[in-house]
Amino acid sequence: MKKFATWNVNSLSIRLPQVLDWLAAHPVDALVLQETKLTDDKFPTMEIGEAGYQVQWFGQKTYNGVALISRETATDVVKNITGFADEQARVIAGTVGGVRVIGGYFPNGQAPDSEKFVYKMNWLTGLRNWLTEEMKAHENLVLMGDFNIAPEDRDVYDPIAWAGQIHCTPQEREHFQQLIGLGLTDAFRLFEQPPKSWSWWDYRNLAFRKNQGLRIDHILVSEALKPRVTACEIDKLPRKNERPSDHAPVIVTIDG
DNA sequence: ATGGCACCGCCCCGGTGA
């Protein structure tokens, strides 16, 4: 049995104790982090090592930043999207126990009429092109992270208010479907799930207490892995911590 | 209702996030 997880921690320096606690309670094979917000020289390698994990990291100042924490050493590590020049640190990939693990912090996009939305669209195209090659090379593959896309209306607490807004535009949803079209499956939807399942809640307006959120953090699995997936859950517990990230971890369990 | 909250940095305010 294998477990893989993703978590946008919104600053690893603030959240490191929570990440270590979470790993102690959830001994996963690999955990990808987003929004570490750390330059590489400040990455807490030692603390993670002392917890019994290996780690690969890829950061920048102030924004973005990703990491791949794993029990076994990750091999063939790739940072960012091959073939897509990017100033921003958003992707880290590695092979862990025969599974290609790709962690991504997808661009937010800010607003559908902004430059950042154009970047998001280009980034998604670049990701898809690269992924096509990655999938040819690795039949066992998981793509996980903060997609910043709510794939369907049932992934949005108020789909009417959010219609056409960032995370919910037809263009973003089309990109999500194109990733699915490569032969990937949204592991969360392989199972009956509680209605109003979200992975992110705004810090403001008591959104978590009112359960007003979005499901924008996802785990996509390749065809070869799909029949082996036995569970996929959002762990809301860390969102109840004292200084929580605004995102919750998502975990997938794979048989064999 | 364009605010709300949290995080970062050249740091008591502005940019960004979602």
Threshold 0.95, pTM exceeds = yes
Nucleotide at minimal C1' distance from the A214 CA: B18
Q: Which helix (H) or strand (E) holds A252?
A: strand A250-254
Nucleotide at minimal C1' distance from the A205 CA: B4
Give the Cα separation of A153 and A15 in Å (integer): 30
β-pairing, A30-34 with A2-8? parallel
Chain B nucleotides near the protein (CB, 7 A): 4-9, 16-18
Residue A235 is a catalytic residue? no
Q: What is the residue whose two structure tokens read 């998604």? A: A124
Name the token pair of A196.
Answer: 């109003």
Give the Cα separation of A179 and A94 in Å (integer): 19
Model confidence at A256, pLDDT cuts 50, 70, 90, reads confident
Give the Cα separation of A57 and A60 in Å (integer): 10
Give the Cα separation of A209 and A198 in Å (integer): 12
Residues 30-59 of A with CB under 7 A from strand B: 35, 37, 39
What tens digit of pLDDT does each residue of A204-221 get? 999 999 999 999 999 999
Average pLDDT of the residues of chain A: 97
What tens digit of pLDDT does each residue of A43-87 get? 999 999 999 999 999 999 999 999 999 999 999 999 999 999 999
Give the Cα separation of A76 and A176 in Å (integer): 26
Instruction: Give me the mean pLDDT over the A26-43 stretch.
Output: 96
Straight-line distance from CA A161 to C1' B1, in Å?
A: 13
What tens digit of pLDDT does each residue of A133-189 get? 999 999 999 999 999 999 999 999 999 999 999 999 999 999 999 999 999 999 999
Residue A146 is a catalytic residue? yes
Give me the helices (H) in chain A, please: 12-25, 45-50, 115-137, 159-162, 170-181
